[in-house]
Amino acid sequence: MKERRREKEKWSKFCPKCGKKTNDLFDSLCKECFIKQTSLIEADFKVNVNVCVNCGGYFKGKERTSIEEAVADSVRKEIRKRYGYECKVEIEEEQKENDSRAIVYLNVKAEIKGVEIEERGIVEVIFKKEICERCSRIAGGYYEGIVQIRAKNRIPTEGELAMAEEIAYSSVGEKDFISKERKLKGGLDVYVSSMECGRRISRQIVKKLGGSFSESRKLYGRKDGRNIYRVSFSVRLPRSS
Ligand SMILES: [Zn+2]
Ligand SMILES: [Zn+2]
């Protein structure tokens, strides 16, 4: 009898939802009711992803992404917005239904107010068709730099130019591209999508074939209040190779 009374006094609070007596309340609910009423993934949660009709790439804004990455990011952001907590998202399966949507099955874990909550859910991904920036730039012949491959006091050989061309193509990053090439009497001009890409190509050519390179930029125009430059990379292969 004595024991029982002590237990009774220990629990001075109770859960208003299920009536359970406990001192461990979360948002004034017992742990079980708190878990039940907390939803990590809302029933009709949708994620929008752009898909390029030309290259098939997935994009969030201008950033290249994957279905998995876009879903995990959106779910994480949503939970942070609602509860202010970080969570762990595991994608279990993704199923592409058709050109305009995909279904993603996932598992989400978060510790909210000290309670570990795990939930399985389904997120719908809606695709919006577009032409990505890279593809529209390729189509428009866009370039920001020209890599001018020449040799010091001589004309580069066909073999050197073929190698330089191969190095150029293998140094192009995922975001970049070569928009055109111009064969000249004294060498080869390679038009590239970005300054970084031009610099990377020039460095690789010099590293593998020798010589040196210099940069010079020219004001090309203004866009959104910023100066736009086009950069020439003057690559000089060594005297004799
Ligand atoms: Zn309860
Ligand atoms: Zn594209």
Give residues with Cβ within 8 angstroms of 11, minimum separation 6: 21, 22, 23
* Rounded average pLDDT over 36-41: 89
pLDDT for residue 6: 54
d(CA 69, CA 65): 6
* Rounded average pLDDT over 21-35: 90
Q: Which amino acid is at 106?
A: L
pLDDT tens digits, one per residue of 130-178 = 999 999 999 999 999 999 999 999 999 999 999 999 999 999 988 899 9
Dist. CA 96 → ligand 1 center (Å): 40
Q: Give bridge partners of residue 103 from the DSSP assignment.
A: 95, 124
Neighbours of ion ligand 2 (CB under 5 A): 52, 54-55, 132, 135
Dist. CA 162 → ligand 1 center (Å): 75
Dist. CA 135 → ligand 1 center (Å): 56
pLDDT for residue 1: 46
Q: Is 67 helix (H, G, I), strand (E, B) or coil?
A: helix
Q: State pTM to two decimals.
A: 0.70
The 8-class DSSP code of residue 23 comes to: S
Nearest to 78, CA basis, from 30, 136, 119, 115: 119
β pairing state of 101-112 and 178-184? unpaired
Ligand nearest to the CA of 33: 1
Domain boundaries, the chain: 41-132, 141-237
- Residue 9 in this model has a pLDDT that exceeds 90: no
- Residue 218 in this model has a pLDDT that exceeds 80: yes
Give residues with Cβ within 8 angstroms of 150, minimum separation 6: 156, 186, 187, 234, 235, 236, 237
Dist. CA 132 → ligand 1 center (Å): 51
Dist. CA 138 → ligand 2 center (Å): 9
Which helix H or strand E contains 235, and what residues bound it?
Answer: strand 226-237
pLDDT band for position 4 (50/70/90)? Answer: low
pLDDT tens digits, one per residue of 58-98 = 999 889 999 999 999 999 999 999 888 888 999 999 898 89
